[in-house]
Amino acid sequence: MNRKNLFRFAFCAIFVTLASCSGSDDGYAGITPPVEVFPEEDVFNQDNIRSYMSDPNATAETVALFYNLKKLQQTKYLIGQQDAFNSFYNDAGGASDIKKATGSDPALLGSDFMFITDDQNTGDPSNWYYQQELKITQDAKEAYDKGMVNIFCWHFREPYEGVDFYADSMTDEQKQNAFTSILPGGENHEYYKAKLDKIADVFNNLKGTDNKVIPVIFRPFHEFDGNWFWWGSAYCTPEQYKQAWQFTVQYLRDTKSVHNVLYAFSPDNSYTTEANYLSRYPGDDYIDVLGMDNYGDFAIGASNGIVTANNKLKMVSDIAHAKVKVAAMTETGWQVSSGNPVIPTFFNTNIYTAMTANDVQLAFVMFWNNTATGYYVPPAGQSNTQDFIDFTKRAESVLQNNIPDMYTMPAE
């Protein structure tokens, strides 16, 4: 029995005993320790790991990242935040809000291609969108140089007006045709390829101080099971979604020679069965990370939401294990603001339990970005700062100050 399973089994067994005596319910009700606590033997190794990746020709550092994430998720998880180096509660700049609270930066930095691929990005030094591109890419380089992992999402503006990514801002005709228009043969396919050209240029020129191309996790078309984005399930069939995804990977990998990317599949939290989760899955040859974004199950802080979230993450974890992929909670959080009060023990009980009970194995969790008026991760001095600190001190938690080398294969 490995250390992590020993910890989980003992902790859950003790807590279930206490809860049954007291009748209290603080988030563990309905969650039981795993029946089988002995880890299964890994089928992957350093010699065959490329065969499980979307890009068999990936750079050595990208292969190492995939391998190390797979190994890490058996016992630990990286803690990350979107825009950690540039988005601060109360606009308090300087160190990341996570570092203000814990003394360390996150282990994972989330970024977005939204401004980089915006139609208004002219590439001129005086252009605001290009300035954002420089800032975002510099943040990614800084994160890599610190040993952190980079993950990019893409709030891709719709291809007709290029104004927004939310479906409710589009006309009915645009909503029904936008996604199919970017497919091969569609009226906006060349437009889409031009955006991918921009992304390829960023990926291929993203280098650290070691002059190596930086590995990046890329999760396009996320939360596709909902209908708030124009790539949502109401606006394309499963086959059309798969076609777009496969074209995206093939174009970046095979046409543009991008070999430093791990591709992440990240629906929102609506799927509760493997069949539903995989209904728009483009295939093992096009995916490296199986994820789930989940805000809703944690929103009210009730125990049934924690159980529900844990069940969904267990599903993702098990599918990833079977497919030899990385598993993760790709977005989550609860924004504390003037209208949203703190949820007590949100991090150290709710998130932790959902991520670890029932032998769930996740490589990372990413919280959304802080803003001037609200925060997903508390900086120093908030009423729930200690709750977050306690979460980061869990044996499984990894921040930048204790992250292992993610870009070199370990000695066997």
CA gap 281, 273 in Å, rounded: 13
- Rounded to two decimals, what is the model's pTM? 0.90
**% of the chain at pLDDT higher than 70:** 90
* Helix H or strand E encompassing 203: helix 189-204
Mean pLDDT of 108-127: 98
pLDDT at 28 exceeding the cut of 60? no
- Report d(CA 187, CA 177) in Å as an integer: 10
* pLDDT band, residue 12 (cuts 50/70/90): very low
Q: Determine the pLDDT at residue 253.
A: 98
Quote the CA–CA distance of 218 and 220 in Å, as a whole number: 6
The string over 380-397, giving b where at least 16 C-beta atoms fall within 10 Å of a residue's C-beta and e elsewhere, is eebebbebbbebbebebb
Determine the average pLDDT of the residues in 71-80. 98
| Residue 300 pLDDT | 77
* Contact call for residues 157 and 188 (beta carbons, < 8 A): no
pLDDT at 412: 76
Q: Which whole number is the average pLDDT over 152-167?
A: 97
Query: Can you give the pLDDT at residue 302?
Result: 76
pLDDT at 291 exceeding the cut of 60: yes
Pairing of strands 77-82, 397-398: parallel
* pLDDT recorded at residue 303: 80
Q: What average pLDDT does this structure show over 60-83?
A: 98
What are φ and ψ of residue 68, in 5° steps?
-70, -35
Residues 296-341: tens digit of each pLDDT: 999 977 789 999 999 999 999 999 999 999 999 999 999 999 999 9
Q: What confidence category does residue 11 fall into, taking pLDDT thresholds of 50, 70 and 90?
A: very low
Taking the C-alpha atoms of residue 300 and residue 306, their distance in angstroms, rounded to an integer, is 10
pLDDT at 268 over 70: yes
Distances (CA, A) of 231 to 84, 142, 175, 292, 326: 26, 32, 9, 16, 24
Q: State the Cα–Cα distance between residues 299 and 332, nearest whole angstrom.
A: 10
Give me the amino acid identity at 216.
Answer: V
Q: Is 90 left (phi over 0), alpha (psi -120 to 50) or beta?
A: left
Dihedral sign for Cα atoms in the order 324, 236, 249, 81? negative
Residue 235's pLDDT is what?
98
Alpha helices in 60-161 (DSSP H): 60-72, 97-102, 128-145
Q: What is the pLDDT of residues 367-405, one digit of tens each?
A: 999 999 999 999 999 999 999 999 999 999 999 999 999
The band of 40, judged by pLDDT with boundaries at 50, 70 and 90, is low
Checking if the pLDDT of 5 tops 80, the result is: no
User: What pLDDT is recorded for position 35?
Assistant: 37
pLDDT of residue 204: 98
Alpha-carbon torsion (301, 271, 115, 171), positive or negative: negative
Task: Report, as residue numbers or ranges, the catalytic residues.
Answer: 223, 331
Give the burial string for 236-263 (b: 16+ CB within 10 Å, else e). Answer: beeebbbbbbebbbebbbeebebbbbbb
All domains of the chain, ordered by start, with CATH? 1-39 (no CATH), 48-402 (3.20.20.80)
Tokens 């240029």: give the residue. 201
Q: Per-residue pLDDT tens for 185-196? A: 999 999 999 999
Residues written for the chain: 412
